[in-house]
Amino acid sequence: MRKYETIIILQPDLGEDDIKIVTGKIQDVVTSYKGELSRLDDWGIRKLAYSIRKCARGRYYYVRYDGDAALIAELERRLRLDEKVLRYQSINITDEPEKVVPEKKAPATESELDEAAEVEEAPVETATE
């Protein structure tokens, strides 16, 4: 299973009952698709960068869970259909294998630096025809 996180922006004027309905839907989708819900945080009401459906503010929710592609598809489908949701974004945060970083070459000795300088200073002969 892969790890995902979704940030959801709800309408700011929703009551507690409406918010519980939306969060309940999220939990139902995750459990019905055999996912594992890690976090469901309320980040509160914040100012939006631009108005969405004439709302200058939005209530942010952060959800972290484990699941598969079918879970993501269903969760995003339900969020898209819900009028209380202004925006959402889901991303995959599964740990990727560490990239191999090539080792740095040890610093050159003085004799190697002198030889390199001599090669660079040698005149270049050009052929003229």
> 118 or 49, which is more confident?
49
Predicted local confidence at residue 58, as pLDDT: 95
For the segment 104-125, the average pLDDT, to the nearest whole number, is: 59
> 36 or 118, which is more confident?
36
| For residue 125, pLDDT beyond 80 | no
Q: What is the pLDDT of residues 78-95, one digit of tens each?
A: 999 999 999 999 999 987
Q: What is the pLDDT of residues 45-59, one digit of tens each?
A: 999 999 999 999 999
What residues contact residue 6 under an 8 Å CB cut-off, 6+ apart? 62, 63, 65, 75, 79, 88, 89, 90, 91
For the chain, the structural domain boundaries read 2-92
Return contacts of 123-129, CB within 8 angstroms, 24+ apart. Answer: none
Predicted local confidence at residue 95, as pLDDT: 75
Q: Write b or e for each residue in 94-108: b if 16 or more Cβ atoms lie within 10 A of its Cβ, otherwise e.
A: eeeeeeeeeeeeeee
Q: What is the CATH number of domain 2-92?
A: 3.30.70.60
Look at residues 98, 7, 105 and name the one whose alpha carbon lies nearest to residue 59: 7
